[in-house]
Amino acid sequence: MPRARRVGSEPPPQSRQDDPGARVSGDARGPDSGGRVSPAVAAPERIETQLARIAGAANVHALELGGSTRAIPLVCPATAEEVQACVRFALEHSLALLPVGLLSKLGWARMPARVDFALSTRRLRRVLAYEPGDGTIRVEAGLTLAELSSTVARGGHWLTPDVPRPGSATLGGVIGAGASGFDR
């Protein structure tokens, strides 16, 4: 009989953000951009206008980041296609995009030196597939942990991690912040 693999926590993966080989080169930022921000869209008002075309004007807001002297556009797409269009827009114009959820963990890390607009997953909160029989679920990143826990509880499952304030913590935010919860 084969031996079972040891169960336990592995050491956390090491970040490669300081590794120059892991960085995106200037020519990967977009066609003919040369790593520069397109002057045609550099102003926040122009960025906001383009994002409104993608996700609708009602889904673009102003976000004031701590320590910043100006507000930046915050777009809240509702579909994967809208997210893709926002990311493509940022890439084509060499804009710095900050992904966020419900903004509850922004203070956990140092802000990037440059942010041209933020993309919130708050409207991406659907359960796409759930199979209680085999315990698999596929959800969007903006689903809160409270909503996710409620869904899996109806199928007889328990969700970990048990994070503080699950009603204001999105799945994407918990993963992005590396939150492990009280029950770890």
Asked, as a colleague might, if the bond just before 13 is cis with ω within 30 of 0, I would say no
Q: From the centroid of its chain, how far is CA 91?
A: 16
Q: Please name every residue paired with 131 in a beta bridge, in sequence order, or none if there are none.
A: 136
- H or E element: which one contains 60? strand 60-64
Mean pLDDT, all residues of the chain? 80
Among 47, 48, 61, smallest CA distance to 123 is for 61
On whether both 112 and 41 belong to a single domain, the answer is: yes
Tell me what percent of the residues of the chain surpass a pLDDT of 70. 73
Point out the least confidently predicted range of 1-5, 81-85, 100-104, 147-151: 1-5
Q: Are 22 and 16 in contact (CB under 8 A)?
A: yes
| pLDDT of amino acid 14 | 55
Domain that holds residue 131: 127-177
On whether both 101 and 138 belong to a single domain, the answer is: no
Angle between helices 44-55 and 80-92 (to 10 degrees): 150
Point out the least confidently predicted range of 15-24, 64-73, 110-119: 15-24
Cα–Cα dist 42/95, whole Å = 8
Within the chain, how many helices (H) and strands (E) appear? 4, 6
On whether both 165 and 114 belong to a single domain, the answer is: no
DSSP state of 151: H
| pLDDT of amino acid 68 | 65
pLDDT at 141 over 50: yes
On whether both 72 and 89 belong to a single domain, the answer is: yes
Cα–Cα dist 103/80, whole Å = 20
On whether both 42 and 116 belong to a single domain, the answer is: yes
Number of domains in the chain: 2
Give the CATH number of the domain where residue 55 resides: 3.30.43.10
On whether both 77 and 96 belong to a single domain, the answer is: yes
Establish if 25 belongs to a structural domain: no
Establish if 13 belongs to a structural domain: no
On whether both 114 and 131 belong to a single domain, the answer is: no
pLDDT at 28 over 60: no
On whether both 112 and 42 belong to a single domain, the answer is: yes
Among 25, 177, 6, 35, smallest CA distance to 101 is for 177
pLDDT at 37 over 70: no
Confidence of residue 91 (pLDDT cuts 50, 70, 90): very high
Biggest alpha carbon–alpha carbon distance for the chain: 67
pLDDT at 159 over 50: yes
Q: Please name every residue paired with 151 in a beta bridge, in sequence order, or none if there are none.
A: none
Cα–Cα dist 115/42, whole Å = 11
Establish if 23 belongs to a structural domain: no
On whether both 101 and 172 belong to a single domain, the answer is: no
Helix, strand, coil percentages in the chain from 3-state DSSP, rounded to 5: 30, 15, 55
On whether both 42 and 99 belong to a single domain, the answer is: yes
Establish if 15 belongs to a structural domain: no
DSSP state of 13: P
